[in-house]
Amino acid sequence: MKLAIVGATGMVGTKMLQVIKERKLPYSELYLVASKKSAGKEVEFNGGKYTVLSIEEALEKKIDIALFSAGGETSKMWAPKFASQGTVVIDNSSAWRMDLDKKLIVPEVNGHLIDKNDLIIANPNCSTIQLVVVLNELQKVNPIQRVVVSTYQSITGTGVKAVEQMENERNGISSEMIYPYPIDKNLIPHIDTFLENGYTKEEQKIIDESKKILNLPDLAITSTAVRVPVMGGHSESVNIEFENEIDLIAFIQVLKNADGVKFFDNLDNLEYPMPILSEDNDYVWIGRIRKDNSHPKAINLWIVSDNLRKGAATNAVQIAEIVKSLKQL
């Protein structure tokens, strides 16, 4: 299998390489692809040295699977070119997520929808992934009527320059401002650009993508997305209203048995999910689950996951594993 990572030198691309090594995704040839500025550089990986290619050079290699993490504009321009020659593109940007002809996949939720003829498969937004893994499990037990989610999103979701901004602020160093305000010792209720309806694009992504992945087009869901000065992962406070009276014990048992989930909720021992626990692992951590004392058919819970791993790199590699199996590469 010829495998390419497009955007290999970025935070997600680097994490993809780590996950590929950990999960032992087999390949016969590996191509690392980045911008023209990075082309020609050498990258050491898994005991070998790789020269970074430009995307034009990579297109000539007749690749089997390409993991894209190079932004929406790059994906819009280049994914169809790769797909036209039979490459399966698994794209981490928002470029194809809401395209009616493209599948938006979280393997634990709807991986069964992938077909060997799919050529462009969209990887969802990081905040959406950890949310729908949980919603999908609970939907099996009791139909969901409404979801209210507030996110507390790591600066790593913005990229390496955001990490540098926070670190420089903590060290009293003036530097480039990636956010419109200081992020250290602060919270910014603003992720991506604002839309005419007052929501940000990030908030709208969570709403629209969740409906598509869960195949619940009429789901009542609303969101508020906040950037916080932490590194380990994204956190979400979620209120879920159901069609029927709730059985909290049944919910807990379902979540404990769910693929990819780490149920971590023991208040006597002060055990609950935190970004510091999720960092560099692939679990969707769940805790603080409790009945909503203001509504007989609702619960509150807290979800945490590493946005660079399950929220991006790992989810993409899991999709690649399915594609590899279907196409017998």
Q: Count the Cβ atoms, other than its own, within 10 Å of residue 40.
A: 11
Instruction: List CB contacts of 139: < 8 A, sequence separation 6 or more.
Output: 214, 216
Residue with tokens 């899991």: 318
User: For the chain, how many helices (H) and strands (E)?
Assistant: 10, 14
| Helix (H/G/I), strand (E/B), else coil: 166 | helix
Asked whether residue 146 carries a pLDDT value surpassing 90, the answer given is yes
Catalytic machinery residues = 126, 234
User: Region 75-82: what's the mean pLDDT?
Assistant: 98
Reported confidence tier of residue 38, pLDDT bands at 50, 70, 90? confident
Reported confidence tier of residue 291, pLDDT bands at 50, 70, 90? very high
CA angle 237, 243, 246 (to 5 degrees): 65
pLDDT (0 to 100) of residue 36: 85
Percentage with pLDDT > 70 across the chain: 100
Q: Give the chain's mean pLDDT.
A: 97
Asked whether residue 264 carries a pLDDT value surpassing 90, the answer given is yes
Instruction: List CB contacts of 132: < 8 A, sequence separation 6 or more.
Output: 106, 109, 124, 209, 210, 213, 214
pLDDT (0 to 100) of residue 63: 97
Reported confidence tier of residue 19, pLDDT bands at 50, 70, 90? very high
Reported confidence tier of residue 87, pLDDT bands at 50, 70, 90? very high
**Where in the chain is CATH 3.40.50.720?**
2-123+312-327
Instruction: List CB contacts of 240: < 8 A, sequence separation 6 or more.
Output: 135, 138, 144, 146, 147, 298, 299, 301
Helix-, strand-, coil-residue percentages of the chain, each rounded to 5 = 35, 25, 40
What is the CATH number assigned to the segment(s) 127-307?
3.30.360.10
pLDDT (0 to 100) of residue 329: 86
**Where in the chain is CATH 3.30.360.10?**
127-307
Domain 2-123+312-327 matching CATH 3.40.50.720: the answer reads: yes
Helices 126-141 and 248-256: angle between axes, nearest 10 degrees: 130
Asked whether residue 151 carries a pLDDT value surpassing 90, the answer given is yes
56-60: Cβ within 8 A, 24+ apart = 57/33, 58/4, 58/6, 58/31, 58/33, 59/85
Instruction: Give me the phi and psi of 159, to 5 degrees please.
Output: 120, 180
pLDDT digits 0-9 by tens, 58-70: 999 999 999 999 9
| Helix (H/G/I), strand (E/B), else coil: 126 | helix
Percentage with pLDDT > 90 across the chain: 97
User: Region 266-286: what's the mean pLDDT?
Assistant: 97
Structure tokens at 261: 């989930």
Length of the chain: 329
Task: Indicate the pTM of the whole model.
Answer: 0.96
Residue type for 47, please? G
